[in-house]
Amino acid sequence: MKTTKPLTLLVVLAIASLFFGCKKKEERFIEGTWKRVKIESRVGSSSWQDITEECNLDDTEEYTESGNWTFYDGTNQCNAGNGIMTGTWEFAADNSKIIYKYTGIASEYESTIESIEKKKLVLTFSSGDLQGTQFKYTYEKK
């Protein structure tokens, strides 16, 4: 009987860790393709201003489970270019931020997750300028 109690305790702990120790993939919602639907900006703590242009509305971002990330600028590009940017992504700060590493660029870039749901994603980030300009991107899942 003495060996039964420790064994039972181990089984209970193992089952509990399955329920409480890991987040399910379904709770993250980030994997998949997201279409940009709104861009806002603000300086410092001022109110958010909608700066969305028609050329932003066919932009998409794709997040894979393996950590790859691709930005597609769409056919209606605001600035001429090849229209595709790639890299990797990972969650940070207890899943409240996303860290991007772009292919061919040595630096990392960070976005804060304002909200993430099955069909809606809102990210904010700082431009890094002296005025404290921030951007807010809103996406819908395709």
**Contact at 8 Å (CB) between 129 and 136?**
no
Looking at residue 83, its pLDDT comes to: 86
Measured CA to CA, the distance from residue 66 to residue 25 in angstroms comes to 12
pLDDT of residue 82: 80
> What ranges do the domains of the chain cover?
26-141
pLDDT along the chain (142 residues), means of 10: 51 45 55 97 96 95 97 89 91 96 93 96 95 97 94
For domain 26-141, give its CATH number from 2.40.128.280, 3.30.420.10, 3.90.1280.10, 1.10.645.10: 2.40.128.280
- Note the pLDDT of residue 8: 54
| DSSP code at position 105 | -
Residues whose CB is less than 8 angstroms from the CB of residue 132 and which lie 6 or more positions away in sequence, other chains included = 43, 44, 126
Query: How far apart, in whole angstroms, are the C-alpha atoms of residue 125 and residue 62?
Result: 18
Please state, in angstroms and rounded to a whole number, the distance separating the CA atoms of residues 67 and 30: 10
Q: Residue 5 has what pLDDT?
A: 57
What confidence tens digit (pLDDT) does each residue in 84-113 have? Answer: 999 999 999 999 999 999 999 988 999 999
What pLDDT does 61 receive? 97
Note the pLDDT of residue 130. Answer: 92
> Regarding beta strands 108-116 and 133-141, do their DSSP bridges make them parallel or antiparallel, or are they unpaired?
unpaired
Distances (CA, A) of 41 to 8, 31, 117, 123, 129: 56, 26, 22, 12, 13
Please give the pLDDT value at position 19.
Answer: 42
Q: Output the pLDDT for position 23.
A: 43
Looking at residue 4, its pLDDT comes to 52
